[in-house]
Every structure is written in C-alpha cells, then in structure tokens.
Structure 1
Amino acid sequence: MSGVQRREEILLAARAVFAERGYAASTDEVARAAGVSQPYVVRMFGTKRELFLEAYKVASAQIVAALAAVPAGPDAARRMGDAYIGLLEDRDLLRLVMHGFTAGADEQVGRVARHTLGEAFRLFLERSGADDQAARTFVAQGMLINVLLAVDALAHRGEDAGLDALVKCVQDDIDGRASA
C-alpha cells in the first residue's frame, strides 16, 4: 500500500474513532482502528491535535464540496438539501463535524468550523438566489439534523414525546425531499 493510501486509511479510521469518542480518543485508538502502530500514526500526522484537525478539514471540505457541486438555478435550494441529506449516509462524517463545532477552544479547528458554516450559508444564497432568512433556515436545519444524529435520536424513539415530535418533523422534511 502506498503512503498516500495508508494516509487515507488512517484518516478514515480517525474519522470513525473521533466521531465516536470525540477529541478524547487517542492516537492509539486510531492506530488500532487503522491496523497500524501508534508510532506510525504519530510519524505521519504528528500530534493527536494535528490528526484531529486533518480529519476535520477533510470532513468539512467534503460537506462544502457536496454543496458547491450543485449548480445555480431555480431548483438549487432543493438540490442542496438533497446533497446534504446524501451526506447523512456517512454518520461518522457528520458526528465528527459536530465534535469540531464543540472544540472551539482550538483556534484552527474553530476556524474550519466557522468557514464550513459560512460557506454553507454563502453557497445556499449564491446557488438558490434565496434571501438570508432561507439560507439561515437551511443551515439551521442541517445543524438540527446533525444534533439529532449526534444524540442518536432515532434509536431512542419513545423515550421523550417532545423529541419524538421533533424527529418526526425532520423525518417528514427528509421524506418530502426524497419523494419530490
């Protein structure tokens, strides 16, 4: 396996481990998940912080790329929503992004998180031609979906009536997009 392939494999393992455990995860856990030694991970990425930051940058860039791939036009708002919903298949991607939003004390991670939110807003405005309110709603809906995934709301249906109702609203939005 080439060094580039091994690096990608480690970043995928880091995505899964950091998505599950957040920044509390260790480079040893990532190494085990990737099937390599911990010193190899450190040699390749440096510190745990640098590994987290790189995995976070890759995940954030994937979200921005999915939104940027939607061409401007009258159906851009729907298509951007569909593009974001398509990202839900990779639960680790969105959970890792959530951990980055809470790691704001780290200036570099915070910068990437702020840029990702800003780009989602800017791209929605640019592609859809909608107003600020619609773009804000788009970003807010995406964040709500992320939070519901992070707390594993679907697996805990029936525990809380309010949460069940909120999940249903989001599920109706997602199902409505899928059938449109």
Structure 2
Amino acid sequence: MNAPVRRRMPAEQRRTEVIAAAVAAFADRGYAGTTTDDVARLAGVSQPYVVRMFGTKQALFLAAHAETMRRLEQAFRDAVAAAPAGQPPMQTLGIAYRELIVDRSVLRVMQHGFMLGGDPVVGPQMRRAMTSIFVVVRELTGDDDDAVASFLATGMMINVMITLEMSEHVEEEQLIARLLACVMK
C-alpha cells in the first residue's frame, strides 16, 4: 500500500505557523517561562528547526511581538475603514482594542514585551513599538498628543487588567467591578 505523499509546506507559511505558536506560548508563559522547545511542540516542528529559523529565543520573541503589533495596527486600520459615518475615530479604535481582548494572546505578548524594556536588545524595539502605536493612533484619529496619550494609557490599563485576569475575579471583589466599569466604558 502506498503511503500518502506529504507536500512540503512553503517556508513562509511554516514561519507564519511558528510565529503563531510563539505568540500563544509567550502569551501563556511569558518570555522567561517559554522555551524554543515549547514553541516547536505547539507548531508541530522540531526545536532545531525553530532555532535554525530564528537563531535565538530572543529573536523568536521579537518576531512574535512584531506580529502582535502588526495585528494591533491592522485591527485599528480595519476598524477605521469600516466605521459608521460620524463615529469618532478614537471611539472606533477603542472598540477595536476591546475586541482584541477576545484573543488575549495579542495583549499579553505586548505586555510581556513592554516588561522587557530594560533589556539592551529587546528594550529599544519595545520603545519603537510603543511610539509606533502613538504615531498610528495619531494618524488615524487626527487627535492631539494629549488625547492619544490618554487613549494609550487606558489601553495599557486594559492590558494590566487582562494580565491580572481581573474580569475572571469580578465576583470576588466589588472594587474590581468598579475599576473594570471605569476602564471599559
């Protein structure tokens, strides 16, 4: 009996799958708690393949973080393009950001990256990522620096609340519900 012929996956498609696995792994376990072996298992490839593809765990993390930033920017651009006439752009971006909560991996990887701001290699890229978000929000809304900074501050608060899993613990503490209501309005 002939075995089915396995077609080789194009390298770019495999890279995309490995990055998706890295986003999931880093979101769950953070930078320090994730290994290239964890990512390889999730992606269904060998650990040496992941290392050959990215070189280091740090480079893999940077690729995963860049993917989350790409997804954030795309979500913002798509939301503005599809927004109902008359809806304020900042409100549109706020809705798009809250919709990202469904896939917590995006926001968690962003947060893990920002926590590495003191790292000499990762830090500069995280600072560029944050300023890039600032530029994109400014471009899409036309709002001034203060309004954009306020929007970003609320977004970072949402990230912290997600990292703390506050929505899962609303019943435990009345103040959690109050804080969530303030931030998510």
Superposition TM-score, scaled by structure 2 size: 0.83
1:7-156 correspondence to structure 2 within 5 Å = 7-24=15-32, 25-69=34-78, 70=80, 75-156=88-169
1:6 CA drift (Å): 1.2
The residue matched to 1:104 in structure 2 has which SS? coil
Moved over 6 A (4+): none
CA distance in 2, matches of 1:135, 1:58: 22
Task: Give the 3 Å change call, closer, same or farther, for CA 62–146 of structure 1 in structure 2.
Answer: same
Alignment coverage as a number of residue pairs: 172
Task: Give the 3 Å change call, closer, same or farther, for CA 124–3 of structure 1 in structure 2.
Answer: closer
Structure having the higher Rg: 2
CA distance in 1, matches of 2:137, 2:28: 29
Deviations 1:17-55 (A, max 9, x none): 000111121111111111111111111111111111111
1:126 CA drift (Å): 3.1
Deviations 1:38-77 (A, max 9, x none): 1111111111111111111111122123334536x96211
Identity of paired residues, percent? Answer: 43
Task: Give the 3 Å change call, closer, same or farther, for CA 66–110 of structure 1 in structure 2.
Answer: farther
CA distance in 2, matches of 1:93, 1:103: 16
Instruction: Name the aligned partner's letter for residue 15 of structure 1.
Output: V
1:132 CA drift (Å): 2.5
CA distance in 1, matches of 2:60, 2:134: 27
Between 105-114 and 89-98, report the one with greater CA deviation.
105-114
Deviations 1:149-174 (A, max 9, x none): 11111111223332221112234x1x
Structure 2 alignment gaps of length 5 or more? 1-8
Structure 1 alignment gaps of length 5 or more? 174-180
Quick check: 2:169–2:176 contact (8 Å CA) kept in 1?
Answer: no
Instruction: Name the aligned partner's letter for residue 86 of structure 1.
Output: E
CA distance in 1, matches of 2:56, 2:106: 21
Larger RCO: Structure 1 or Structure 2 (Cα < 8 Å, ≥ 6 residues apart)?
A: 1
CA distance in 2, matches of 1:9, 1:160: 39
Quick check: 2:117–2:127 contact (8 Å CA) kept in 1?
Answer: no
Quick check: 1:20–1:92 contact (8 Å CA) kept in 2?
Answer: yes
1:108 CA drift (Å): 3.7
Superposition TM-score, scaled by structure 1 size: 0.85
